Chains A and B, each alone.
Chain A
Amino acid sequence: MTPFLDALSLLLVYSAIAVYAAGFIAYTLDLARRTAPRPAPAPAKERVLAGPATMPPAPSGTGEPTTEPAPGRSKAIRVGYALTVLGWVLHVAATVLRGVAAERVPWANMFEFSLTGTALIIGTFLAVSIRGRLAFLGTAVLGLVVLLLGVATVSFYVPVVPLMPALQSGWLVIHVLVALLATAFFGLAFLVSITYLLKSRRHPEQTTRLQRLLEATPSAEDLDRLAYRLTIVGFILWTFTLIAGAIWAGRAWGRFWGWDVKEVWTFIIWVLYAAYLHAMATRGWHGRRAAWLCITGFAAVLFNFGVVNVFFTGLHSYSGL
């Protein structure tokens, strides 16, 4: 039974990747449409100028003239969103099946961690999309997830094996799940910060393709605020991850903090995001430099996962590779 469910789960992962890739294309088509030179640039200009003063208007979806490309949700975006939801359903099903096959939580090795983590990134993206406009991030989020999921399936895949004694603890559920959630929020904040950096770089006179592309995104100020809000949620979750990990270490290894390689990097990430929060409140650091810190923080998260797990030896050698 287990090998069958495992194989089915893997099949669903491949399907999810394919659907995400299609969604990626849809979102990209939307971006391409936006970057195409427009015959009448005047209305577009007006729309951008109206942007920063208030929060973006609530998505209405109605009352837009159908002849002109709608500024909010184009057909391509709706297709992209629908495909993302479909891919996510497959993705979640794959994750659940993997858990059922292994008879435990599906995040006990790097493959499963990537599987669940990317599902959470998409889930967070879909959830935040309901409240605010994140369609501009569709290409980036789906691109990132297709990449991560692809790498995980090709390089990290391992068949279902039982849990080693060190992982047989209730803390596996809490500690790793919260770490996953934190990673999802940091990941989205990372993408928003990159958009912010592109947006806040001004080429006043040129109208490059990139600039036309960025007209589709919220104002720089809104992006900055969005990255901040995503990060504070991630930061609290990360703090909790750190504490839960320390409690577990105290149970399993007889000390709650021992500067193990993974502990060191968890600490580094925590300090980097703490620096980001301080930067947001410091004159001269608010804005672009803070955004760079946010990006550095997520780079450290990826390093902690992709490099520390595989190439460093420590007590957290659970990659299963």
Chain B
Amino acid sequence: MPTPSSTPETDTTLADDHIDRAGESPSGPRLGVVGWLRWGWRQLTSMRTALMLLLLLALAAIPGSLIPQRSSDPNGVIQFDRNNPGWAWAVQLLQLHDVFGSVWFSAVYLLLFASLVGCLIPRIRHHAQALLAQPPATPRNLQRLPAHDRRRVDGPPEDVLRAAEKELRRQHYRLRRLDAGGERSIAAERGYLRETGNLLFHLALLAVLVVLAVGAGYRFTGQRILVEGQTFASTRIAYDSFTPGRFVTDAQIPQFTLTLDRFRVDYVEDNLNALGMPRDFDAQVTVTADGTQQSSSIRVNEPLSVAGTDIYLLGNGYAPTLTVRNPAGDVVFSDSIPFLPQDANLTSLGVVKVPDGLAKQVGMIALFYPTRATAPGGASYSSYPDLLDPVVTLDVYVGDLGLDTGVPVSVYSLDTSAMTQVAGRGTASPALELTPGTSAPLPDGLGTIELTDIPRFASLDIARDPTQAPTLVAASAAVAGLALSLFVPRRRIWVRVTAHGDQTQLEVAALARGDDPRLQSAVDALAARLETASRPPGGSHDPLP
């Protein structure tokens, strides 16, 4: 072990040490291709490289937390791209919205695991040999070992050795008896589990990687927004979005139908510091699968298992039902439209598109306030998430909704480039305002619009992940292996006896592999025990002097 003072003072600069080391070998004889490959492999599998790769992995993960990721924060990605157009080329080139699937991040962890495999194979071979081998012979100079004890004990050497054998066997040591020219000794070793645990830990990490890589192909998630009263039959096209793994076929999509009967929210009303905070979300559903129907509920931490998949409650909000009539009074549009919540009090934003039935195509950008309040400046906001004083306000546009171009259009956004605003901020007529059961005329005599009802919607995630169980098993194995490798002491103990008159000269010494806080005390305890055991029966039973 190098003394701390021998390390150079430039200990924070990680790179130059690395370069030093790489520069060592070119001075040797010329290497052929095989030689270079072997040299490269040896470099890759060295502990120092593993350490560098670990540090690199930590560093490489940081951008994934600073820049929004497509997998965890799709809205953040859109916003980031809008706010930072100058960064688009870098984001594109370095896959910064997909850091954890990017080429460079993958390169780091794949190199790390390659290094790990290269390191593990010889270690497994070595450990297998060690498991079969006898403990190494007793060294000549026991007092040079890190832990050592020497004392005189009563009784003949053979008795002392036998007692030592018995004691060490009790402590699960592997024993070997040695007789070399009148000098008798025992070599003992224990703690093979330390290395076994270490190997298990690393193999389990490999297993996690393999399970995740292979399992990704069999995983799927689908999202679906369901308004109270609506039913959804699980088929690929019925999902709002569906992300299947490579090997998922339509036949594997579970067959069930799900009705959202009611979405119940409990609000905190008895604590002024948390007034209006949701206490409980409860999606009460009826599920039909395999011909049986059952009612159950889905809560945030309590997913529902149906037909081999789990259904999670991820979000909720209001879906006001709006009814549009033409000037003759005929209903041309009536639908519950999920509004996207904008804040904790559920001020929500929605888009209404009425393509047919009126003189012109009509689009509306609507804001919904469950409990409308007015700020001193005149702006509306919601002051409570429950329906105490619900109001919908609508900005109205007429023109081309852009639905006929064949390009898919989001239901949550309105492209106003081919439309004219006819009501709302910036126009002559004010925004339409609706309370439940009331209706308002659309501008230009187009018709009327009514707020019929305000049901809630639940946003559900339907997922199957066959990797969960195997990953958990591997991860648990990793923890078990880690604990073994860090806490099981690997020790070699030698006991040597030499006759000294009618007494015996006893020498005990030990060597540890890795950190072993109790090495010396183990030696002391063994020697003391042998001393006590060697006292002739019936003699003094005094404790040690």
Chain A residues within 8 Å of B, Cβ to Cβ:
2, 54-55, 158-162, 164-166, 168-169, 171, 196, 200, 202, 220, 224-225, 228-229, 232, 235-236, 239-240, 243, 246-247, 250-256, 258-261, 264-265, 267-268, 271-272, 274-275, 278-279, 281-289, 292, 308, 312-315
B257 CB-CB contact with A under 8 Å: no
Shortest A265–chain B CB gap in Å is 6
Q: Which of B299-307, B388-396, B494-502, B503-511 contacts A (4 or more CB under 8 A)?
A: B299-307
Q: Which of A2, A200, A243, A284 touches B475 (beta carbons < 8 Å)?
A: A243
Q: Which of B44-52, B82-90, B400-408, B421-429 contacts A (4 or more CB under 8 A)?
A: B44-52
Q: Which of B3, B65, B71 touches A258 (beta carbons < 8 Å)?
A: B71
Complex contact B17–A251 (CB within 8 A): no
B130 CB-CB contact with A under 8 Å: no
Q: Contacts A236-B479, A282-B48 known; A229 to B273 CB distance under 8 Å?
A: no
Q: How far is the CA of A168 from the CA of B234 in the complex (A)?
A: 29
Q: How far is the CA of A162 from the CA of B463 in the complex (A)?
A: 30
Complex contact A284–B7 (CB within 8 A): yes
B356 CB-CB contact with A under 8 Å: no
Q: Contacts A202-B5, A282-B47 known; A229 to B300 CB distance under 8 Å?
A: no
B11 CB-CB contact with A under 8 Å: yes
Q: Which of B22-30, B373-381, B465-473, B524-532 contacts A (4 or more CB under 8 A)?
A: B465-473
Complex contact B65–A264 (CB within 8 A): yes
Q: How far is the CA of A229 from the CA of B71 in the complex (A)?
A: 37
Name the interface size band of chain B: 35 or more
Q: How far is the CA of A246 from the CA of B59 in the complex (A)?
A: 22
Interface centre among A54, A236, A254, A313 (most CB of B within 10 A): A254
Q: How far is the CA of A310 from the CA of B281 in the complex (A)?
A: 26
Shortest B475–chain A CB gap in Å is 5
B478 CB-CB contact with A under 8 Å: yes
B55 CB-CB contact with A under 8 Å: yes
Q: Contacts A264-B64, A275-B51, A282-B47 known; A165 to B280 CB distance under 8 Å?
A: yes
Q: Which residues of B contact A315 (CB under 8 A)?
A: 72
Minimum-distance CB pairs A-B, first 10: A161-B274, A200-B4, A254-B312, A275-B54, A159-B273, A264-B65, A165-B300, A169-B301, A271-B58, A254-B463
Residue of A nearest to B76 (CB): A313
Complex contact A286–B1 (CB within 8 A): yes
Q: Which residues of B contact A252 (CB under 8 A)?
A: 300-301, 312
Q: How far is the CA of A287 from the CA of B7 in the complex (A)?
A: 8
Residue of B nearest to A225 (CB): B515
Q: Which of B3, B71, B476, B487 touches A243 (beta carbons < 8 Å)?
A: B476
Shortest A52–chain B CB gap in Å is 10
Q: Contacts A162-B271, A254-B312, A292-B11 known; A271 to B61 CB distance under 8 Å?
A: yes
Q: Which of B7, B515, B517 touches A289 (beta carbons < 8 Å)?
A: B7
Shortest B174–chain A CB gap in Å is 24
Write out, one digit per residue, whether chain B residues 306-321 have a CB within 8 A of any chain A CB (1) or not (0).
Answer: 0000101010000000
